[in-house]
Structure 1
Amino acid sequence: MTQPRYYFYLSYGHSVRLRADDRPDTDHWAGQLFTELSGEVAKLVGADRRTPVGYYDDLVQPLADWKTALADVLSSTDVFVALYSPGYFNKSWPLRERASFISRYADPAMAEGFLLPVLWVPWSPWEHEAERGAALRLGAGIPEYAEEGLQAMSRLSLYRRQYRTVVRRLAYQIVTLAADAPRPAPLAVAIDEVSAEPTAASEIVLTVAVLAPARSELPPGRTAGSYGTTARAWTPYRDLQHFPLAEYVANVAERLGQPTRIVDRPDDLAALGQGAALVLIDPWAAATPDGLERLSGLAGRIPDWATVLLVADRSDPEYAARGATLHATVADTLVTAGVARSRITLLRDADRLAERMPSIIDQACTAYRKTAPVFLPKGADSTLPRITGEPA
C-alpha cells in the first residue's frame, strides 16, 4: 500500500494517553484544531472531505511498529506545524518529531522553510526567543494571539472570530509552502535515531534505567511476546497502549513536566548519578546466563536516592511458576550488593502501576533533591560567611 501524501503534520506537547479512554484536556483542543485546520486545507486544495490532508500522532495506531509508522508519515509530509508551548520544549517527544522532520534536509535552513510555528501557549519572553519570534508572525495584527495563544483562543467564544482568522491564515500558508515542497520527498530519520534534549526551568533530569532481557537472550522457558530487540522494548503489560514500560514511564514523567531520558546499556548507567533516578528491572533478567553478574554490576551504579522497581505481571502463568522466585532472587542480589531493601518495590499489576506511577516519579525527584550531593559552582568560595556583630 502506497504511503499517502500529507500537506501538514501537527506536532504538539501532547500528553500520551495512559489508557484507551484517557483523553487529556490539552489533547482535546489540539485535536479540535487539527480537525478545523484539515477542513480549511481541504477547501483550499479542493480535496474530498474523506481524503486526509493532514496527520497528527493521535492517528497512529498502537502497534509494535508505531515509531516506524510515524517516520513514514513525516517522510510523506510537506509542512511541519509546531504548536509551541512550555510543554513542547520540556518534552523529548515533540522535539524529536521536529528533529526527525528537519533531518530530511541536508540544509537545516531549507527545512526551516517548511516549518510553521504556532504560539499555542505563551511562555516567558526571555526563553526560546527565536521560536517565539517565529511563532508570533502568524498572528500579526491580532493582539489576542500574542497575549493568549491559539489554545486559549480556541476555548473562548470571545475570541472565536480571531481564532478562525488565524486558522485560515495557517491553512493558506500550509498550502502555499506545500506547493514548493520537494518531489520526491526526502526520507525522515526514525524517531529513535534522532536526539533532541528537552529544556526546562528545572535542571533535574529523571533517568529511567532498564534491566531486562532482549528477545535474543531470553532464558529457557520464557515466552518472547513481551520482549524486543533491546532492553528498553520490554513490555510486561500489553494493555498499556502497547507501550514499552520505559517509554510509558518516560511519557508519564513528561506529562508531569519532568524532563526524562531512558538508558538500557551498561555504558550509559553513569547517567543515574546525574539526576533523579528510577530503575526498572524484569525479574527474568536473573535467569539469563550472566543475569546475576549484571544485577550486581547494576547495584554498584545505583545512587542512594534512586528508586528501584521490580515489575511483573501477576496474571502471567510463567510468573506464578517461576517469576515469584526470581523476584526474591533479584531483591536479595541487590541488597547483598548494597541497595537498601526499603528502596525496592515490587509491582505486579498494570492498574496498580498506572495508579502509582505519578507519585513514584514525584518521590524519585524529591529523593534526589533531599539526598543528592550539592556541588558548588567552579571557583566558588567554600568558606561560609559568619555574622560576628562587628561593624563593617
Structure 2
Amino acid sequence: MVQEPYFFLSYARKDNPDEFVKRFYDDLVLELRRIGADPAAQPPFRDVERLGLGDDWARVLGEAVGHCRAFVALYSPAYLNSLYCGKEWTAFRARLHEYRRETEMDVPALVPVLWAPMEGELPEEIARFQYHEAGMGQEYVTHGLMQILRTDPTGRAYRGIVERVAARVRMAADRFRLPFTPGLDLGEVHGLFPVAEHQRAAAPGAGHVQVFMAAGVVDPLPEGRRRSEYYGRSPREWTPYHPPKHPTVAHRAQKVIVEEGYTSNIELVDAELSTRLDETMVNNQTSILLVDPWSVRTPGYREPLADYDGQNRPATGVLVPCHESDEESGDDIVWQDLSRVFWRNWRRQNDPHDPLFRVRVGADEFDDRLAVMLAVAQNRLMEMESTTPYRLPEGPPPPPMSGLTIPNPPDPPDFPAPKDPDDDQ
C-alpha cells in the first residue's frame, strides 16, 4: 500500500523554533480529527517525526512530497530563502499542474500559512497561492501566525486560523487525488527558491554557504577511471562512497549544512570559480569545495582549482571524499595528480590545527569533518578585517618538507596516461 501522507508540513528550520512548529502541527492534527477527518489512516508528514536514523532523507522527503494529499507551507523570509523548501514547494506545485492538465480543475491543496512577516513583493507564481482570507485578522497579516502562537496560544485568533487551515486541508485531502510522483528525487528538482527579494545578508553564525563541486560523470568517465558506478549523468550525482548509492555527496553535504543552521546552494566548478569566490566574500559568506580526486585530470576543473590554490581564501574549505575500498582511488598516482594541483595547500592536508583542507575523507567521518570545516570557516570570516581576497606572490614553491613523499614541482608536469590493464597480460 502506497503511503499518502494526509498533509506534508513544509517549513524552514532556520527561523522556526521547534516548539512552535510542533505546537501548530499537533493542533492542526487535533482540529482535523475534531471536524471528522481521519489523518491517522495516512499519517501527516513532519520530517523530524518521520525520518529515522540512517534514512536516506532526500528519498524519504521526495516520497512524501510526491504522494501527500495536501501541502501546508509555513511562509517566512527564511522559507523563501531555503533551497530545499523551494524544491518541496516546486515539486508539489508540479503535481497540481499535472492534475489541472488532466482534469482542467484547480485543486486548493497547496495551503500557505503566513508564519512570519514577509519582506517585499512575492513573485507572481508564489503570490497566486493566497495565504490569508477574510476572518483571519489583521494581526495575522501583519505579524504572522508564529507571533500569535507565541503571545496567545489558546486565544480566538489562533484557534480561528487553525480551523481555517484544517478545513482547507480536509477538503483537498478527502475530495481529490492528485497524480503521484513516484521515486521523486528532490536533488534533481530545480526549485523556485531562494527568492532574491527575500534573501537576507548573511549574519555570523547564521549565514549562507556556497558549495562548489568538481566531479566526474559517467560519460565520459574521468581519465583513467574504469568504475562507472560512482557517477551519474551530472556531477551532482557523484557518490564517492562504497557501495555507491544515494544520498549523493551533494545531498549529504546539504543535510549537514542545514543541521548546522545554514542555508546553501550548489554550483559546479568552472572558469568563473575565482570570481564566484570573490562574490561570496563580498556577501560575507563561507564556501566549500567538494572535489573528486579524479576530476583534476580534466582541464575544465584542473585550471580553476589550480588558480584557487594560488589565492588566499581563509573562509573556504576543501573536502576530498574517498572510500578506502575503492581500489582505483588507492592508486598513488591519482593523489600525486591532486597534490600537483593543490601544491600550496597540500602541505596542510589533514592538519589537526587547520581543518580547512581535508583529503581522503571516509564515509564515517564526512559529516563531522564538514561540520568542523563550516565552523572554522565561519569563525575566520568573522575575524577578517577585510573581505577582499588577495593572491599569493608568484614564485617557485618552497622545498619539500621532511617526510613528505609526494613532490610539489614548480610547474605541474603533464599527467601520465592511464595504464592499460592489458599491458600486463
Q: TM tier, shorter chain? A: 0.5 to 0.7
The one-letter amino acid paired with 1:279 is L
Which residue does the alignment assign to 1:384? none
Which residue in 2 is equivalent to 1:381?
A: none
Offset at 1:345? 1.8
Following superposition, the deviation at residue 36 of structure 1 comes to 2.5
Deviations along 1:191-238, one digit per CA (max 9) or x if unpaired, are: 21333241213499754122345689599999999x553543556789
Q: Name 2:72's counterpart in structure 1.
A: 81
C-alpha displacement of 1:352: 4.2
How far has the Cα of 1:356 moved from its partner? 3.5
Q: Which has the higher helix share?
A: 1
Letter in 1 for 2:7: F
Matched, 1:12 2:24: no
1:130-209 pair list within 5 angstroms = 137-138=132-133, 140-157=135-152, 160-181=155-176, 183=177, 185-187=179-181, 190-191=185-186, 192-199=188-195, 200-202=199-201, 206-209=209-212
Shift of 1:260: 3.3
Q: Residue 78 of structure 1: SS of its match in structure 2?
A: coil
Going from structure 1 to structure 2, the CA distance change for 1:260 and 1:169 (only over 3 Å counts) comes to same
Instruction: Tell me by how many angstroms 1:80 deviates.
Output: 1.7
Structure 1 vs Structure 2: percent identity of aligned residues? 20
Sort the Cα spacing of 1:355 and 1:210 in 2 relative to 1 into closer, same or farther, 3 A.
Answer: same
* Distance change >3 Å, CA 300–CA 353, structure 1 → 2: closer
Question: 1:348-392: per-residue Cα shift (whole Å, max 9, x none)?
Answer: 54434323414425757998x82279xxxxxxxxxxxxxxxxxxx
* Counterpart residue type for residue 5 of structure 1: E
Q: Which residue of 2 aligns with 1:211?
A: 214
For 1:128, the equivalent position in structure 2 comes to 122
Does the residue aligned with 1:309 lie in a helix, a strand or coil? Answer: strand
Tell me if 1:297 matches 2:296: no
The answer to whether the Cα contact below 8 Å between 1:9 and 1:56 also exists between their aligned partners in 2 is yes
Opposite residue 150 of structure 1, the aligned amino acid is L
Q: Is the 8 A contact 1:210 1:281 kept in 2?
A: yes
Aligned residue identity for 2:10: S
Q: Which amino acid aligns with 1:297?
A: E
| Aligned amino acid, residue 310 of structure 1 | L
Change (3 A) 1:138 1:271: farther
For 2:319, give the aligned amino acid. L
Query: 2: distance between equivalents of 1:111 and 1:194?
Result: 23
1:57 maps to 2:56: no
Aligned to 1:346: 358
Distance 2:372 2:250 in 1: 16
1:387 matched residue in structure 2: none
CA deviations 1:239-259 (Å, max 9, x no partner) are xxx864433444565678866
Could you tell me which amino acid in structure 2 is paired with residue 152 of structure 1?
Q
Residue of structure 1 in register with 2:318 after alignment = 309
Q: Are residues 5 and 41 of structure 1, via their aligned partners in 2, closer, same or farther at CA, if it must alter by over 3 Å? A: same
Q: Return closer, same or farther for 1:4/1:336 CA change in 2, 3 Å cut-off.
A: closer
Moved more, 302-311 or 4-13: 302-311
Shift of 1:263: 2.8
Whether contact under 8 Å (1:232, 1:246) holds in the other structure is: yes
**Distance (Å, rounded) in 1 between the aligned partners of 2:389 and 2:193:** 22
Secondary structure of 1:4's match? coil
* Residues 109, 168 of structure 2: 8 Å contact kept: no
1:309-333 alpha-carbon deviations (Å, 9 max, x no partner): 13457x95879x9589965652432
Structure 2: gaps of 5 or more residues: 281-286, 391-425
Q: List gaps (5 residues or longer) in structure 1.
A: 16-23, 374-392
Offset at 1:77? 2.3
Q: What is aligned with 1:370?
A: 387
State which of 70, 91, 105 in structure 2 corresponds to 1:100. Answer: 91
Deviation at 1:173, TM superposition (A): 1.6
User: Per-residue deviation at 1:103?
Assistant: 1.0
The structure 2 residue matched to 1:278, chosen from 288, 291, 304, is 288
> Aligned letter for 1:261?
N
Q: Deviation at 1:89?
A: 0.7
- Matched letter for residue 82 of structure 1: A
* Number of positions where the alignment pairs a residue of Structure 1 with one of Structure 2: 351
- Asked if structure 1 preserves the Cα contact closer than 8 Å seen for 2:318 and 2:358, the reply is yes
CA shift in 2, pair 1:328/1:263, >3 Å: same
Structure 2: distance between partners of 1:160 and 1:27:
20
What is the CA–CA distance in structure 1 between the aligned matches of 2:151 and 2:172, rounded to whole Å? 30
Q: Judge conservation of contact 1:139–1:166 (CA < 8 Å) in 2.
A: no
- C-alpha separation between the residues in 2 aligned to 1:261 and 1:184? 30
Q: For 1:112 and 1:366, locate their aligned partners in 2 and report how far apart those are by CA, in whole Å.
A: 51
SS of 1:10 mapped into structure 2? strand
Distance in 2 of aligned mates of 1:297 and 1:336 = 14
- How far did 1:83 drift? 0.4
* 1:13-66 C-alpha deviation (Å, 9 max, x unpaired): 125xxxxxxxx963443233223212322343442x742342233324566754
Indicate conservation of the 8 Å contact 2:216/2:222, yes or no. yes
